[in-house]
Amino acid sequence: MIGLISATAAGAAARDRLAAAWPDRTRVYDGPVGDAVRRAFAECEQLVCFLATGAVVRLIAPLLGDKASDPGVVCVDEGGRFAVSLVGGHGGGANELAREAGELLGAEPVVTTATDAVGVPGLDTLGLPVEGAVAAVSRALLDGEPVALHNESLWPLPPLPVAAEGAYGIRVTDRLVELSEREVLLRPPTLVVGVGASKGAPVEEVLDLIEDSLREAGLSLKSVAELATVDAKAQEPGIVAAAERLGVPLVAYSAEELAAVEVPNPSDAPLAAVGTPSVAEAAALIGGGELLVPKRKSAARPAMATCAAVRRPARGRLAVVGLGPGARDLLTPRAKAELRRASVLVGLDQYVDQIRDLLRPGTRILESGLGAEEERARTAVAEARKGRAVALIGSGDAGVYAMASPALAEASDDIDVIGVPGVTAALAAAAILGAPLGHDHVSISLSDLHTPWEVIERRVRAAAEADIVVTFYNPRSRGRDWQLPKALAILAEHREPATPVGVVRNASRPDESARLTTLAALDPATVDMMTVVTVGNTATRDIAGRMVTPRGYRWQEGAK
């Protein structure tokens, strides 16, 4: 919960804007400011104070404990110009909160955390348990000293300015290792622990078994990703409580699913009790991986719990990111976040240039020219299969005439794929023209490089006969100058010469141009590959210089 505190009418107005935008995330604290801050500090994970930073510093100073438990605190000035991350930038999430609040209020986020200021991700913000000399290694990263990365688990990390060797080190492993005073240890969630238990097994017995088994195998409890069991034991209190105390999900499988898993130590006892010859080993192995701890019983007499542990291989991460039509303010926050998260960026050189300044230091860029779409898709998938965090970029929306299709055709289920939507060229052009897509519409590419013209023509004819608004992508190039006139002629068989046509070039970019013409008056020679052509249907009208297709036709009929 985010506590909101203000002292003046101006502050209250901005406070109420945040409260209205985040009704489920915020709580307004009224009354004397000092009391309000103290109550919010004790009850909330984060605070936004619409007060001077000096006042907030004096109010929260006696309340501060440590950065691991203190809430994140953001100050917004009375004029709403700045959102300052004051306390808990990383651990309390104040840096991100300052950015979010600033975006909503039109305020400039002020973040002074050293790593954020230079674009290096904080080691305590990577979403992994961290141990060791965090401050010393972070300082080395900031000072440009060589820091070696030993990613034993091949876990997909954001870009870090690391080297093959160095006096400082970052180690990513699920093993129990001794660290030097110049090392940081990151614990990836690679371990799955299968658990079986008799009815009434105490949670202490289950936990002791898991902890002892992992420790003796040289594995860290902090790398446990989940507990797994048979569905007949999914409500067993000892198992449920063990998962809760470890802070991991409990996953259950049917006896039939577990019985199909080949295990080294099957037994008649679980077969008779729950219908599968193995619970612990089968539940751990069902998703694949390396069995590190074979089935083991608890030390109690009689033993009431069993466990087994498997290391599942890390999965690379491929984000297919739509950059929108080109304008920076049409690049979504989610796309920006994925660009900053990726350690490898793959894309067309001209698209890379658009967002190069958003990348973190250390991001490896693999760029190529026009015509290499399939090669880029293969490269991105190959990099993800190496356990890396990869962003594959395209203009508009990644799934519309862009990189998602070739990438997903290459990808199998051994990597995680995330689609990040973007504003398409058709939508950007439509917003400039007015509302041409107010009713049914279709997008058709006129490029016959990959699609036979016979197929394209059949689609254009179908849209013409169905009276659907058509947006043409790739309408005309130097080597393809006859396809657009042919497509327009097909539409003209079913639409009046005065049908509105919108022509937008470089939508949302600095050299944007747009004009509204008609089906009869459009000169195809004025169109190129940077242009989107939108042809209205029989209901589309030019209203005050804007292209409008009504949502329905009743109001239009009534106006005749």
Q: Tens digits of per-residue pLDDT, 207-265? A: 999 999 999 999 999 999 999 999 999 999 999 999 999 999 999 999 999 999 999 99
Q: Taking residues 98-123, what's their average pLDDT? A: 76
pLDDT of residue 135: 83
pLDDT of residue 553: 57
pLDDT of residue 560: 45
DSSP 3-state assignment of 101? Answer: helix
pLDDT of residue 369: 86
- Residue 480 CB neighbour total at 10 angstroms: 16
| Residue 556's pLDDT band (cuts 50, 70, 90) | low
233: left (phi over 0), alpha (psi -120 to 50) or beta: alpha
Report the chain's mean pLDDT, rounded to a whole number.
90
Asked whether the predicted pLDDT for residue 121 surpasses 90, the reply is: no
| Residue 559's pLDDT band (cuts 50, 70, 90) | very low
Question: Quick check: 141 and 121 in contact, CB under 8 A?
Answer: no
Q: Taking residues 426-445, what's their average pLDDT? A: 96
Query: Rounded distance, CA 429 to CA 547, Å?
Result: 11
Q: What is the pTM of this model?
A: 0.74
pLDDT of residue 162: 80
Strands (E), 22-161: 26-28, 46-50, 72-76, 82-87, 108-110, 130-132, 147-151
Q: Taking residues 76-102, what's their average pLDDT? A: 84
Asked whether the predicted pLDDT for residue 118 surpasses 70, the reply is: no
Give the pLDDT confidence of 154-202 residue by residue, as tens digits: 888 888 878 778 888 999 999 999 888 899 999 999 999 999 999 999 9
Question: Quick check: 283 and 258 in contact, CB under 8 A?
Answer: yes
